[in-house]
Each structure stands twice: as C-alpha cells, then as structure tokens.
Amino acid sequence: MTDEVQPPPPRSRRLPRAVRERQILDAAVEVFSRHGYHSASMDEVSDVAGVSKPMIYSYLGAKEDLFAKCIRREANRLLEAVRLGVRSELPPDMQLWHGLRAFYRFVAEYRDSWTVLHRQALTVGGQFAGEINLLRSKAIDMVAALVVTAGTKKGLGELAEFSGPALAVALVGAAESLADWWLDHSDVSDGVVASWLMNLVWLGFNDLVEGQVWRPSS
Amino acid sequence: MTDEVQPPPPRSRRLPRAVRERQILDAAVEVFSRHGYHSASMDEVSDVAGVSKPMIYSYLGAKEDLFAKCIRREANRLLEAVRLGVRSELPPDMQLWHGLRAFYRFVAEYRDSWTVLHRQALTVGGQFAGEINLLRSKAIDMVAALVVTAGTKKGLGELAEFSGPALAVALVGAAESLADWWLDHSDVSDGVVASWLMNLVWLGFNDLVEGQVWRPSS
C-alpha cells in the first residue's frame, strides 16, 4: 500500500502564467516578423506557442494588444542590451563603440525582434506609432547623454556648429537606417557594420578619405 | 451687326487639365499633411482646390490614388531640388554641403510635402511603402555616387572600415531623422541644421570634441 503510485498533483501540469506569457510573446514575435501584422493569424501564434487561442486572449488580449505588447517587450530588450553594452568607465569613443556593437549584435541575434520593431511596426502605421516613438526617444536620450557629456567637457555647448541632442537624433537615425539595410545584406558581420558607422560618426568622412581609420583600442 | 458682342468661346473658362491636376495635388498635399491620410476628406480637398469632387475622381482617382500621386510628385520634387543643389564641379565636402543645404531648404519651404512624405506616409503603412522605398533608394544612390567617387579616388575600396553604399544609407537615415526632429524644433534655421549634420558626417565626433569645426569655403 505504501508504494502505491500517486498521480502527480494536477497543478504540476500547469505552467506559471509568466512562463506562458513568455511563450506566447516569443511565438507572436516570430509570426509577426514573418507575415506582418495584418497577415499574421492568431491560429499560427497559438500553434507556434503551443497555447490555446482562448488562453492567449485571456492572458494577453486580442491581436492588437498582442502586437503592442510585442513591441514594448522587444523595445525594452533592445534598450537594455545597448545599456548593458555601454560601459561608462571607458572613454567616449569606446562607449559609443560598445553601444553600437551591442545594438548590431542584438539585431543579428534577435532578427525577428528588430523586424517587428522597425519594419512591421512602421508598415502597420499610426496605431503603434506611440510605442515606437517612445523607444526612439529613449534611444536618443541614451546617445545624447554620451554626446552631451563628452561635448560639455570640451566646452562645445557654446558652438553653433554643435548640438548634442541633434547629433544624437542623427546618430540614431543613421543606426536604424543601416540596420534596416543590413536585413537585406546579412552576409556582412555585425562587427563590420558597427565599424562602418563608428568610422563615419567618430572620424567623419574627411578623415576617412584621408586614409584615417578608427579601430577599437582593446 | 458687326460690333455685336460675341460671348467668349466656352472653352476659355476651362483650365487645361494639367493646371487642374496641379491645383488638386497642391490642395491634397496640404490636407493630407494637416489631417493624415485616414482623417483627410475628399470634401476638404475639393474645397481647398476649388475643384468639384467628381472632377477630382475623374482626373486623379479615389483617395488612395490621390495619396500615392502626392507621394510620387513630392518625392520627385525633393530629389530634383537636392540634385540641383549639388554642384559636381565642387570638391566633395562642398557638394555634400550644398546637397544638405538644398534638402533642409526644401523641408523648410515645403513643410507639407515633407510631412506627407515622411510622417504621414509612414503612419499609413504598407500600401504606400513601395513609393517611399523608391524615394529612399534614389536618395541613397545619389549620396552613394558622391561618397563612392570621393572614396575610390583615395583607394578606400579595399578598406574593411569603409563601405560607400553603407555610408550613404547611414547618411540618408541621419538626414531624415534630423528633418523629422526639426519639424518639432523649427525655431532653428535650415542652415544651422544642415551645418550640424555636415559637421557630424564630415568631421566626425572626434574632431568636434577637439574643437574643430567645418565651415563652407565660400
């Protein structure tokens, strides 16, 4: 009687809600990246996640909510990856370099995330513009902090040719544009893409055509 | 009998079709810029243009066609303005400078055009993505021609840190991003915005923090 097999307690088959939500979001990012917002089906998200449709609706809402939550999660992931990449004890060029490296490494590793954040969210249009603008403004603030700190030390605040916030806006635009191009040219490594942009914004085109090259110091 | 007043020939009241089409497109750009694609009404386009709705439909089609034609016309205008700005007899820095000046002057002068091309077309989404991508790739080709010509002269083709097409993509992204930011900061003059970007991409951040400044040679 004592070695009678006990059935597992029924709750053990249930995954915690947070785990389920992660499975669903992972599946949704994959499906939205592949088909775009309009063509993606909740049936496919359900198949890929291995979670029933009613559970998806109950946990994360309808397609629109699900897409918004994908954008929010991937945006935070991306910002976090870049933030961890920048090491504030290093000189400004190495900080920028590590930030760019982290950004392009993220795009390489989470290609679906970037596709959803950049291509799919833009082509869906206005209803998700708020989420995307929030991501961009956080990214711009992060770059501006670096640029303004370095610039202020050198007394550039006074100079008409210099605006930290505007340079940060330009740099983020350049990084996005190049990441988007890279989706169609993925034979290039993430390190090479990062070094192209680093050389442009750090050295500038004038130094480049004079044969100067920026390379990381370690 | 001979001095009997002749009524004007009926055709003289009719404007040529090309003139009407221009009036309609001008009005449509204004209305789309103000309200966005979805909220813009054909009634308002008709009011602003002073052209009846049936004539708009007959000449330029329904709202979707009208929007696509606005994008196409404004994109060609913008490219033409930049092309005329770049003077190929000048050294590369002055060519780039004049190109950037022409771009930001266009955005200042035709604010509605830029708003439709950049903000409104992006928030409408996928159906107009083809038109916008065509504009971007023409702009990138134009910049790449300049960058690659200057780079090839100096033998940069071999260098891993240099890619003409990628730099052109980055530069166009930076210019767009800064133009978009400028819509909300229009107290800055177009010349100053152009000089910020010129200093970033020509001199690079390293020279800037060392106190170097690029200024046009004439």
Q: What number of other Cβ atoms are within 10 A of residue A104's Cβ?
A: 26
Chain A: closest CA distance from residue B123 (Å): 4
Of A156, A164, A170, the closest CA to residue B170 belongs to A170
How far are the Cα atoms of A142, A152, B28, B90 from residue B67, in angstroms, in the given order? 36, 45, 8, 37
Q: What is the percent of chain A with per-residue pLDDT over 70, rounded to a whole number?
A: 86
Q: What number of other Cβ atoms are within 10 A of residue A47's Cβ?
A: 13
What tokens appear for A70 in the block?
């994908």
- Return the higher-pLDDT residue of A71 and B121: A71
In one letter, which amino acid is B99? G
Cα-only R_g, chain A: 22
Residues 6+ apart with CB under 8 A from B86: B95, B96, B98, B99, B102, B142, B146
Per CB-CB distance under 8 Å, the chain B contacts of A203 are 204, 206-207
Which is it for the CA torsion A42, A115, A64, A14, positive or negative? Answer: positive
pLDDT of residue A13: 58
DSSP classification of residue A6: P
pLDDT of residue B1: 47
DSSP classification of residue B117: I
pLDDT, averaged across chain A: 85
A39-43, A67-71, B143-147 — which is least confidently predicted? B143-147
Contact B181 A197 (CB under 8 A): no
pLDDT of residue A92: 83
pLDDT of residue B11: 46
In one letter, which amino acid is B218? S
What tokens appear for B183 in the block?
């819509």
Of A21, A25, A173, A62, the closest CA to residue B193 belongs to A173
Per CB-CB distance under 8 Å, the chain A contacts of B196 are 161-163, 166-167, 170
Categorise residue B196: left if φ over 0, alpha if ψ from -120 to 50, beta otherwise.
Answer: alpha
Q: What number of other Cβ atoms are within 10 A of residue A215's Cβ?
A: 10
Q: What is the mean pLDDT of residues A19-41?
A: 94
CA atoms within 13 A on the CB side of A186: 10
pLDDT of residue A212: 74
Contact A171 B200 (CB under 8 A): yes
Q: What is the full DSSP assignment across B73-104? A: HHHHHHHHHHHHH--TTS-HHHHHHHHHHHHH
pLDDT of residue A181: 92
Contact A196 B154 (CB under 8 A): no
In one letter, which amino acid is A104? Y
B4: phi then psi, degrees, rounded to nearest 5: -60, 130
CA atoms within 13 A on the CB side of B65: 9
pLDDT of residue A12: 41
Per CB-CB distance under 8 Å, the chain B contacts of A67 are none
Nearest-CA residue of chain B relative to A203? B204
What number is the ipTM of this complex?
A: 0.84
Q: What size, in residues, is chain B?
A: 218
The partner residue sitting opposite A176, judged by closest CB among B153, B173, B200, is: B173
Nearest-CA residue of chain B relative to A191? B161
Q: Going residue by residue through chain B (218 aa), what tens digit of pLDDT does each one get?
A: 455 666 555 444 578 999 999 999 999 999 999 998 888 999 999 999 999 999 999 999 999 999 999 999 999 999 999 999 888 888 888 888 999 999 999 999 999 999 988 877 776 766 787 888 888 899 999 888 887 777 666 666 666 666 788 889 999 999 999 999 998 888 999 999 999 899 888 888 777 767 777 777 75
pLDDT of residue A10: 46
Instruction: Answer yes or no: are the C-beta atoms of A197 and B170 closer than 8 Å.
Output: yes
pLDDT of residue A8: 53
In degrees, rounded to 5, the angle at the alpha carbon of residue B217 between the alpha carbons of residues B212 and B218 is 145
User: Where does the pLDDT of residue A11 fall: very low under 50, low under 70, confident under 90, or very high at 90 and above?
Assistant: very low
User: Where does the pLDDT of residue A86 fall: very low under 50, low under 70, confident under 90, or very high at 90 and above?
Assistant: confident
Instruction: Answer yes or no: are the C-beta atoms of A24 and A45 closer than 8 Å.
Output: yes
A91: phi then psi, degrees, rounded to nearest 5: -65, 160
Q: What is the full DSSP assignment across B39-53? A: H--HHHHHHHHT--H
Contact B204 A207 (CB under 8 A): yes
Contact B123 A126 (CB under 8 A): yes
Which is it for the CA torsion A49, A54, A55, A57, positive or negative? Answer: positive
Q: What is the mean pLDDT of residues A11-16?
A: 66
Q: What global pTM score does this model have?
A: 0.85
Q: What is the mean pLDDT of residues A92-112?
A: 92
pLDDT of residue A215: 79
Per CB-CB distance under 8 Å, the chain A contacts of B197 are 170
Count of A-B CB contacts under 8 Å: 177
Contact A171 B174 (CB under 8 A): yes
Query: Tens digit of pLDDT for each residue in A107-166?
Result: 999 999 999 888 777 767 667 878 888 888 999 998 888 877 766 666 665 666 667 888
What tokens appear for B159 in the block?
């260098």
Q: What size, in residues, is chain A?
A: 218
The partner residue sitting opposite B204, judged by closest CB among A122, A178, A202, is: A202
What tokens appear for A110 in the block?
């989470």
Nearest-CA residue of chain A relative to B180? A169
A54-63, A164-173, B85-94 — which is least confidently predicted? B85-94
Per CB-CB distance under 8 Å, the chain A contacts of B216 are none
User: Where does the pLDDT of residue A169 fall: very low under 50, low under 70, confident under 90, or very high at 90 and above?
Assistant: very high
In one letter, which amino acid is A189? S
Per CB-CB distance under 8 Å, the chain A contacts of B177 are 169-170, 172-174, 176-177
pLDDT score of A91 more than 90 = no
